[in-house]
Amino acid sequence: MSTAQADVIATAFPDIASLTAADEKALTQCKGVTGALAHAIRLELAPGELEDERRSSRLREEAQAFIEEGEYDAALECYDRLLRSRPEETSVWFDRAELLVLLDRPEEALQCYTRILDFDPANRQASYERANLLFGLGRLSVAVDALRDALRLEPSKSREVVQKAEQLRRDGHPNEAVLLFRAILEIAPDDPRAILGLGDTLIDLGDSDAAEAQFARALGRDPQNAPILFRKGALLERKGRWGAAVQYYNRAIALRWNYPEPWLAKGDILLNHARPREALESFEKVASFDPQRIEAWAGAARAHAALGQADEAEAALANGARFGADHPAVLVAREAIAQITGARPAASEPLEPITDLPSLAKAFEAIEEEVEAPESSVPPDFQSFVESIEPEKEDTHVLLQLAELAIEGGDPQMGLLRYEQAIEREPRNADAWTGKGVALQQLERFREALEAYDRALSLKPNHELARKWRESCARHVPSEANE
């Protein structure tokens, strides 16, 4: 050993204790120290430890060779011999645990991870692997606590843990799923799958109010999340708020047009409220981008049946039955078709004569009185659709958002209706009056648009958007443009 090498080693390891503890790899990190020199130093300072290191290395190599040959029991014996001499070697405990899992001895593998955590309580890998084993063994209450602890040590595992929470819900363990979803949200409060999973699980448990509060908080952070909008709509539908539910379904569709669930839910509501033609459009929309969706074809069959179109209903049902003849939606559609086909009298049978014409006339008059609607500026077909999705208790700001979505989507007629609904709730809302003006202007009803802008400016004289749109609209009205 040269003087220069000795100086470098003395600088790196200033006392005999640190030098004795250094292994060959640590010594070779010193400038000028070769592997042979490091080996000689180790042999001089700790001959017993050096021999132990060689033995450990040899046993590891033997264990790996046995594993490659499929001799797992022999490999396990190598690990056991290693641990008898070096019980604090965590890497060997990990190798032993993996081998025990391979041998389908999970309880013994669990003991290995527990032993590692005894040496190193903050070991993230051991904590997570232990939790996985407990989950696989079905010890759910302990597994949930272990997964929560593992998440605190390793937050990046939240996506994997979400899958386990979803599995708990699917397997009929909602209480444990709730605990795990909440543990995930403590670490990752904006995780969309955890938010949806927790809300859905709360619904499974019958706690709709808690689920609604969960979805409301999520929408507060991300109002453009289509799946959460759909879940919110589904909750409202469960409460019988059909119109408000459709509003949320429409918002989800506006954000993701090929999202089948809100289309199907909307179609069911329309069909159940005697709007089969509009319902048919929803079901056919799903079939156009997801042609193997059984519920879409079955829904279309039911809508055709409600319209009295037996042949079209049979064709739609046949398309759905190709993918699942015993699917519940197919069975319901088949029953709906049977009702209309069974109700048709045979050609040889005379129709039952109507003997009570005055009573029948009165009945028709009563029906006409019930369905008579106030005059509207929108077309009849459009108005009937709108009536089926009346927003009921929806907030004004939601109506304004829906109106903006309609305008952006090229539907000023729908936008106009939504702005008028917002004005009914808040007559002094300048934004609603401005939006109404924009919708009217796009419909080329320029004088009415000017009146709406003037109303907005009377409520809020510095409303910049109303002023700019009014100037644009005034160019289309000669008398206004010349003033």
pLDDT tens for each residue of 1-10:
677 777 777 7
Q: Is residue 371, in this structure, part of any structural domain at all?
A: no
CATH of the domain at 134: 1.25.40.10
pLDDT top residue among 157 and 7: 157
Domain boundary at 222, 253, 282, which? Answer: 222
Note whether 191 and 290 are same-domain residues. Answer: no
Give the range with max mean pLDDT: 20-24, 52-56, 208-212. 208-212
Range of the domain at 420: 395-481
Number of domains in the chain: 5
Residue 1: the pLDDT is 61
pLDDT top residue among 308 and 379: 308
Q: Is residue 140, in this structure, part of any structural domain at all?
A: yes
**Res. 357 pLDDT band, cuts 50 70 90:** very low
pLDDT top residue among 24 and 118: 118
Q: How far is CA 296 from the centre of its chain?
A: 21
Could you tell me which of 227, 171, 238 has the C-alpha nearest to residue 203?
A: 238
Mean pLDDT over all residues of the chain? 80
Note whether 465 and 329 are same-domain residues. Answer: no
Q: Tell me the two tokens of residue 158.
A: 């939240």
Note whether 256 and 207 are same-domain residues. Answer: no
Q: Is residue 113, in this structure, part of any structural domain at all?
A: no
What is the C-alpha to C-alpha distance for residues 192 and 309, in angstroms, rounded to an integer?
42
| pLDDT-above-70 percentage for the chain | 82
Note whether 170 and 253 are same-domain residues. Answer: no
Q: Is residue 111, in this structure, part of any structural domain at all?
A: no
